[in-house]
């Protein structure tokens, strides 16, 4: 999708640019949309119960997804309508009809990425600088949020902002857990179908 004039004010936002590049049929989890909008899951739930945007897709009784196409169109309209001056912001603050009581929808309070790519973040960021991630798998291995937009993400995979320092710690913890799991599986494979000796020579 080619960015329209309504998104021109956000052409320097890597997250929104990544959304622009996705296929319209791509489905995002609630956690991904929460990070993108800097809103809470409860706010999205309340919006759904009211029949208010952003548009969503109900898959079964409990699974909710957000199709990129309708979400992108709504974002474009939202950005185009976003208040720019303090007086406009105060006027919009009481406008519940749009449901805009959250970040980018309220005058650009959304977190600003410290650089335009994850690679530059790793190379140039300070310890406290933050980048968005998806915590993938049972041990929460952090994956660049923008790259993860092209992956299959489940409701169990959290979407979070991590500082460079926290990212390094999370990677280390995840790798330790994964290494321990591989070790356990290796031991189980070695002794699969065998009798395991005990200390006194008896067999298990």
139-163 tens-digit pLDDT: 999 999 999 999 999 999 999 999 9
Q: CA angle 83-74-92, nearest 5°? A: 25
pLDDT tens string 59-117: 988 899 999 999 999 888 876 665 555 665 565 555 444 444 444 554 344 567 778 89
Decide: helix, strand or coil at residue 27: strand
pLDDT tens string 16-50: 889 989 999 999 999 999 998 888 899 899 999 99
pTM of the predicted structure, to 2 decimals: 0.74
At residue 13 the predicted structure's pLDDT band, cuts being 50, 70 and 90, is: confident
């Amino acid at each position: 999708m080619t960015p329209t004039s309504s998104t021109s004010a956000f052409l320097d936002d890597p997250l929104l640019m990544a959304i622009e590049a996705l296929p319209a049929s791509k489905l995002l989890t609630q956690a991904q949309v929460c990070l993108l909008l800097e809103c809470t899951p409860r706010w999205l739930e309340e919006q759904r119960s009211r029949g208010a945007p952003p548009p969503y897709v109900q898959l079964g009784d409990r699974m909710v997804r957000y199709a990129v196409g309708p979400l992108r169109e709504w974002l474009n309209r939202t950005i185009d309508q976003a208040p720019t001056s303090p007086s406009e912001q105060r006027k919009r603050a009481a406008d519940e009809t749009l449901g805009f009581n959250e970040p980018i929808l309220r005058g650009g309070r959304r977190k600003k990425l410290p650089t335009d790519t994850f690679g530059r973040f790793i190379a140039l960021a300070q310890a406290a600088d933050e980048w968005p991630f998806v915590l993938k798998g049972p041990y929460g291995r952090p994956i660049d949020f923008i790259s993860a937009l092209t992956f299959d993400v489940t409701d169990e995979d959290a979407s979070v902002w991590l500082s460079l320092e926290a990212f390094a710690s999370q990677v280390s913890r995840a790798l330790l857990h994964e290494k321990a799991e591989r070790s356990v599986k290796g031991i189980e494979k070695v002794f699969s179908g065998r009798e395991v000796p005990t200390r006194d020579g008896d067999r298990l």
